[in-house]
Structure 1
Amino acid sequence: MSNFAETVVPNADVEPVLSVRDLKTSFLTSKGWVEIVKGISFDIGPRETLAVVGESGSGKSVTALSIMRLLDPEMSRVDGSVKLAGRELLKLSPGEMRNIRGRQMGMIFQEAMTSLNPLQTVGQQIAEVLSIHGLYSGQAALKEAERLLDRVRIPGAASRLKDYPHSLSGGMRQRVMIAMALACKPKLLIADEPTTALDVTIQAQILQLIKQLQQEEGMGVLFITHDMGVVAEVADRTVVMLQGKAVEADSTEVIFERAENPYTRALIAAVPKLGQGSQKGPQHFPILDRKTGTIVTGRERPDTVRHDAEPVLRVKDLTKRFDIPGGLFSGPSGRVHAVEKVSFDLRAGETLSLVGESGCGKSTTGRAIMRLIEPQSGEVSIEGTDIRALDKERMRDMRRHIQMIFQDPYASLNPRINIGEAIAEPFLTHKLGTRQQAREKAMDLLERVGLSPDMASRFPAQFSGGQRQRICIARALSLEPKVIVADESVSALDVSIKAQVVNLMMDLQEQFGLSYLFISHDMAVVERISHQVAVMYLGEIVEKGPVAAVFGNPQHPYTKRLMAAVPVPDPARRKQLRPVSNDEVKSPIRPVDYVPPQRDYREISPGHIVQAWGDDWKV
């Protein structure tokens, strides 16, 4: 496939909505002009979805911003041709381009919260788009905004008009962004990683919504993502980008069935698929050996769990509630029941995953176990020591045995100290040796996590996201802990980098006998890395057991809902509009005098238990 300008033209008989030819984008740096997008070409027809896929830094988002003319003209240079319905966009004046944006081209960004004005209601923001483009004004604009919110399946649209962005969930905020993008019925919708930060169930809702609205409005869609599972769900055709170039382009079916480029094959191989979990335990993800261009599937892993030993971590009836302040002279007006009587055991060498959507209490559980927040009640013991009974000094010593890896590695590292010092710091703080020993330990750990020891003098900003997460893993290992709490530690990573980091965690578990409490909303990754899994909903564990039992025979409706929402990397299913629940997770806020009901559990098979549920549950 040498001529990508030809291979990505949809239909010669239909005029494309968008036609891009030899697009090149350069940025001005201290070293002069650096070309980021290196001559990419494609067409998008009406009702057609083209996916531009690649890892971070491949140039896909810059491609979208170049098409929209949203780059700083003093610091960037865009060459080539971009035509919208036959009209050349790169020659338009800034004023003419402003009329095009929103009116004929809509864009959905990755993080809705940073794209919405926190000081305006969502109704005002949608009405503003309509007013700017002269379609409606005043009360008519607000009425149309209500219709648009209803159109993107936001329940109670009339009341939601007066809500501010912070009072909406992530999924609802993304729906508001879609409503704004579609307000003027554009010919083209550009969706830049619109579901990356969302839970799997909310992601499924947004993908279905975009597909439905596309068919109703006849839009062309440019969908930018790094997730090949999402590509299979939405895209008619696919362009794969690497280092600013299109390395492969064809129909999505052809890409998945017989991809020619090894990088494309690696992206597809790294997509976690439900049903690929092993009865024998966790499995490595396939990854690309960039030297040979071949896919490495990984060796058979031994059983790392010490089945005959006492649990290294034992949690019983852990409860954490947050008071909601009332008036100035009154008590709390309610309580958030974040974690409610959570119990589980974690053995040496075992991975237990806590899964569920945002707000289910899984991260609060991890922080309460670490005593980063203090639980109201319950027991947390490490090798028989009740850590809730420890004072601050003894708790600090106990943290040698239980460490945490957070979701955002950049926020976890001090940008002012180099990574060698960052890894050595816990070792020195706990007085485990001399500075020379700490340096040697840092060098050894960098090598163990797949980085070069000579990188120790670099600062966090000089590393990629995947490398920074490896640094955080090395820092957690510097104290030789028994338990690591990994809180969404791979959810923000590209799919191939995610595969590498998960493989690394499993290798380190084998080397050091580590136990992981793996907190995630990604069911497909959980199936691959876990020995045990516990599904959380509204602060409670609703199903728990061996991963093969829970995934092979899910019982609770919520577990089934999570699994049904996982993207299926099969392009044959693309045209199907799957039934997806539009229900958001219910609020965990309760009255001050609320007493949780006594829960009943039944055992389905050895170790596989499920909470009884009422008639109000639907999948």
Structure 2
Amino acid sequence: MADLPILSVRNLTTSFLSGGVWKSVVRDVSFDVRPGETVAIVGESGSGKSVTSLSIMRLLAPGFSRIEGSILLNDRDLLALSEKEMRGVRGNEASMIFQEPMTSLNPIFTIGRQICEVLTRHKGMSRQEARAETIRLLEKVRIPNAGARFNDYPHQFSGGMRQRVMIAMALASRPRLLIADEPTTALDVTIQGQILDLIKVLQEEEDMSVLFITHDMGVVAEIADRTVVMYRGQQVEAGPTDEIFQRGQHPYTRALLAAVPRLGSMQGRKWPTRFPVVDIATGETMEPSEVAGTVARGMTPILAVKNLVARFPVRSGILGRQTGSVHAVENLSFDLFQGETLSLVGESGCGKSTTGRSILRLVEPTDGEIHLDGYDILRLDQPGLRRMRKSVQMIFQDPFSSLNPRMKVGSTIAEPFVKHKLGTAGQAREKACDLLEQVGLSSTMMDRYPHEFSGGQRQRIAIARALSLDPKVIVADESVSALDVSIKAQVCNLLLDLQQRLNLAFLFISHDMAVVERVSHRVAVMYLGEIIEIGPRAAIFDNPQHDYTKKLMAAVPVPDTARRGIRRNISNDELRSPVRPVGYQPPARTYRHVSEGHLVQIA
């Protein structure tokens, strides 16, 4: 490996203008990235790692930010370049993948046009060449039916698919340096595994260097040659990844490693188990405790779903005739009992979120039966639907978009209580105060707005709002997928505590198998709208039967640096399209009984 680094950062200090005063958020950070090397910057939200990457690319607002120090890319000082010269650097020499693809993709242009623009501007390709290369890139990041989806818009893709589009766009011009800012945070484990493989392969082919920003220590172990640990804007530890993992010196480094959920850590435990509580100041870890349940299995389920079908029409042509259907959910059946957590797991597009939304009638199912706490949900009129929703509430994946930015959090939490006329405005405010305390926040925060809270705090506010109607069932749709490891652990512990205290039933929708293993009583694995395996948590994780279940588990990142050379080679055939022609009838499915409550679909 060459001694001369591609990127050399020295004494980087970034400040923002606030109230007429310059406040530094990144202080005295120094590191190198050499050719073909991957350097990970790891830390939690607010540690300054994303500001570091934006400073390198000079993407901060010039009037309100100040970047000091030295940033050399291929021996050129980026801080000395004009904005026009920087535009030539971005995309050609250095490219960046952002965490949130929906805000990075232009909603009014097709994804094909947006990727083609990179190729025509930076590579001088013709429109035909750019189209062919764009389709090749989309296939490489596992977009099903890439050619047919060239003219689709960002809103027509799932969150995971939008992130893959962003990765394809960043890789289009084959940059020497790729800055990846949390690129796999909200992705399915199999997609995450393939993206990590893809980055490794491109590094070998192009001698590309990667600056990988993440809070997932499992990803760091698998991809990084060297690691920089950041805490509150400062670099607290740096060195070869092996040394950081085996002999980490700083308490915060040890705390990060301790908070990582490890697949297989629940062997021998009967009940869901809290995550370890880590003291950041000392790095000491308190042993987790089991949450003994009172699952009323054998009695009438609080939620019963039978033969649920959800399909969406696909229209094409000038007249917009229906040419097919997206079979999002196909003949799905399960029961959920009081005090139980049933986890639905699977990749983006498997139908798990559509299932959750169908239960609340946020999506209208095509067929089937849903019985909830005595309600036949699919037969309810609007007043009945309103009454039913007191029994079931939903926690969404992104708390920022699900909270009204113009409403104070106290009013947000109290609103369902007021709308359902469960008491006076004073009682609603008292309820909101009590709920904030229950989710680990202070009642003095009632008059703040959502933007004044961190991501983890906003998710706690969303949980408080869901509890305001005293529901019996909560649908948690990817509610911890984008959170830092320690915040994820805190929110999961909160959900387990609330379940034990209030005897709640959770439908926990997730793609994070390590988290699912800790919080679940039972697990249902979904693939292309169908449940392919269902059973008690221990049965699924200790004795998986379906090939797809095994692949999901094999793709989970493990915080072990010995796995750095691993290649999963996940087949593109796994993620087939759920679009079917008009009149298609799915085949009848049969299930094999493996053990008590453990069923697996027979291919």
Q: Normalising by structure 2, what TM-score? A: 0.93
Q: Deviations over 1:387-422 (max 9, x none)?
A: 333332233222221111111212222222222222
The CA distance in 2 between the partners of 1:328 and 1:352, in whole Å, is: 44
Question: What SS is found at the alignment partner of 1:545?
Answer: strand
Q: Compared with structure 1, are the counterparts of its residues 175 and 86 closer, same or farther at alpha carbon in structure 2 (3 Å cutoff)? A: same
The count of aligned residue pairs is 601
The CA distance in 2 between the partners of 1:158 and 1:542, in whole Å, is: 26
Q: Compared with structure 1, are the counterparts of its residues 58 and 553 closer, same or farther at alpha carbon in structure 2 (3 Å cutoff)? A: same
Q: Compared with structure 1, are the counterparts of its residues 157 and 585 closer, same or farther at alpha carbon in structure 2 (3 Å cutoff)? A: closer
Q: Deviations over 1:371-392 (max 9, x none)?
A: 2223232222223442333332
Q: Does 1:242 align with 2:231?
A: yes
The CA distance in 1 between the partners of 2:356 and 2:144, in whole Å, is: 34
Written as runs of structure 1 = structure 2, the 5 A alignment for 1:560-599 is 560-583=550-573, 585-599=575-589
Equivalent residue, structure 1, for 2:206: 217
Written as runs of structure 1 = structure 2, the 5 A alignment for 1:359-508 is 359-508=349-498
Equivalent residue, structure 2, for 1:189: 178
Q: Which of 1, 10, 16 is equivalent to 1:21?
A: 10
User: What RMSD over aligned residues (CA atoms) do the two structures have, in Å?
Assistant: 2.7
Written as runs of structure 1 = structure 2, the 5 A alignment for 1:145-160 is 145=133, 149=137, 152=140, 159=147
Q: Which runs of 5 or more structure 2 residues have no equivalent in the other structure?
A: none
Question: What SS is found at the alignment partner of 1:569?
Answer: coil
The CA distance in 2 between the partners of 1:151 and 1:392, in whole Å, is: 44
Q: Deviations over 1:448-486 (max 9, x none)?
A: 110111111222221111111111111211221111111
Q: Does 1:58 align with 2:47?
A: yes
Q: Compared with structure 1, are the counterparts of its residues 461 and 117 closer, same or farther at alpha carbon in structure 2 (3 Å cutoff)? A: closer
Q: Which of 2, 7, 21 is equivalent to 1:32?
A: 21
Structure 2 counterpart of 1:355, which letter? V
Q: Compared with structure 1, are the counterparts of its residues 376 and 201 closer, same or farther at alpha carbon in structure 2 (3 Å cutoff)? A: same
Q: Which region of structure 1 is more displaced relative to structure 2, 389-398 or 595-604?
A: 389-398
Q: Which runs of 5 or more structure 1 residues have no equivalent in the other structure?
A: 1-10, 614-619
Q: Deviations over 1:115-163 (max 9, x none)?
A: 3455666665555445544x54436853883696389466899947954
The CA distance in 1 between the partners of 2:139 and 2:402, in whole Å, is: 40
Equivalent residue, structure 2, for 1:273: 262
Matched-pair contact (CA < 8 Å) for 1:126–1:145: no
Matched-pair contact (CA < 8 Å) for 1:403–1:476: yes
Equivalent residue, structure 2, for 1:138: 126
Matched-pair contact (CA < 8 Å) for 1:50–1:239: yes
Q: Which region of structure 1 is more displaced relative to structure 2, 246-255 or 514-523?
A: 246-255
Q: Which region of structure 1 is more displaced relative to structure 2, 162-171 or 86-95?
A: 162-171
The CA distance in 2 between the partners of 1:313 and 1:138, in whole Å, is: 56
1:73 deviation in Å? Answer: 1.9
Q: Compared with structure 1, are the counterparts of its residues 435 and 228 closer, same or farther at alpha carbon in structure 2 (3 Å cutoff)? A: same
The CA distance in 2 between the partners of 1:410 and 1:273, in whole Å, is: 28
Equivalent residue, structure 2, for 1:521: 511
Structure 2 counterpart of 1:145, which letter? E
Q: Does 1:229 align with 2:214?
A: no
Q: Which of 66, 91, 97 is equivalent to 2:86?
A: 97
Q: Which of 85, 88, 102 is equivalent to 2:77?
A: 88
1:538 deviation in Å? Answer: 1.4
Q: Compared with structure 1, are the counterparts of its residues 291 and 478 closer, same or farther at alpha carbon in structure 2 (3 Å cutoff)? A: farther
The CA distance in 2 between the partners of 1:588 and 1:265, in whole Å, is: 43
Q: Compared with structure 1, are the counterparts of its residues 438 and 164 closer, same or farther at alpha carbon in structure 2 (3 Å cutoff)? A: closer
Equivalent residue, structure 1, for 2:35: 46
The CA distance in 1 between the partners of 2:577 and 2:475, in whole Å, is: 26
Written as runs of structure 1 = structure 2, the 5 A alignment for 1:317-328 is 317-325=307-315
Q: Which region of structure 1 is more displaced relative to structure 2, 496-505 or 77-86?
A: 77-86
Question: What SS is found at the alignment partner of 2:535?
Answer: strand
Equivalent residue, structure 1, for 2:98: 109
Matched-pair contact (CA < 8 Å) for 2:340–2:505: yes
Matched-pair contact (CA < 8 Å) for 1:146–1:157: no
Q: Deviations over 1:37-76 (max 9, x none)?
A: 1110001111111100111221111111111122222221
Q: Does 1:552 align with 2:536?
A: no
1:558 deviation in Å? Answer: 1.7
Question: What SS is found at the alignment partner of 1:500?
Answer: helix
Equivalent residue, structure 2, for 1:314: 304
Q: Compared with structure 1, are the counterparts of its residues 69 and 559 closer, same or farther at alpha carbon in structure 2 (3 Å cutoff)? A: same
Q: Compared with structure 1, are the counterparts of its residues 546 and 162 closer, same or farther at alpha carbon in structure 2 (3 Å cutoff)? A: closer
The CA distance in 2 between the partners of 1:126 and 1:488, in whole Å, is: 28
Equivalent residue, structure 1, for 2:287: 297
The CA distance in 2 between the partners of 1:95 and 1:67, in whole Å, is: 16
Question: What SS is found at the alignment partner of 1:63?
Answer: helix
Matched-pair contact (CA < 8 Å) for 1:402–1:481: yes
Identity %: 62
Equivalent residue, structure 2, for 1:607: 597
The CA distance in 2 between the partners of 1:281 and 1:219, in whole Å, is: 46
Equivalent residue, structure 2, for 1:509: 499
Structure 1 counterpart of 2:179, which letter? I
Equivalent residue, structure 2, for 1:282: 272
The CA distance in 2 between the partners of 1:605 and 1:344, in whole Å, is: 17
The CA distance in 2 between the partners of 1:252 and 1:39, in whole Å, is: 21
The CA distance in 2 between the partners of 1:146 and 1:348, in whole Å, is: 49
Q: Compared with structure 1, are the counterparts of its residues 451 and 382 closer, same or farther at alpha carbon in structure 2 (3 Å cutoff)? A: same
Matched-pair contact (CA < 8 Å) for 1:205–1:582: no
Matched-pair contact (CA < 8 Å) for 2:193–2:556: yes
1:345 deviation in Å? Answer: 1.1
Q: Compared with structure 1, are the counterparts of its residues 314 and 117 closer, same or farther at alpha carbon in structure 2 (3 Å cutoff)? A: closer
Q: Does 1:344 align with 2:334?
A: yes
Written as runs of structure 1 = structure 2, the 5 A alignment for 1:247-262 is 247-262=236-251
The CA distance in 2 between the partners of 1:524 and 1:136, in whole Å, is: 45
Question: What SS is found at the alignment partner of 1:365?
Answer: helix
The CA distance in 2 between the partners of 1:140 and 1:487, in whole Å, is: 41
1:101 deviation in Å? Answer: 2.5
Equivalent residue, structure 2, for 1:6: none
Matched-pair contact (CA < 8 Å) for 1:124–1:161: no
1:224 deviation in Å? Answer: 0.7
The CA distance in 1 between the partners of 2:572 and 2:4, in whole Å, is: 35
Matched-pair contact (CA < 8 Å) for 2:343–2:523: yes
Matched-pair contact (CA < 8 Å) for 1:16–1:85: yes
1:168 deviation in Å? Answer: 6.2
Question: What SS is found at the alignment partner of 1:567?
Answer: coil
The CA distance in 2 between the partners of 1:384 and 1:209, in whole Å, is: 49
1:24 deviation in Å? Answer: 0.6
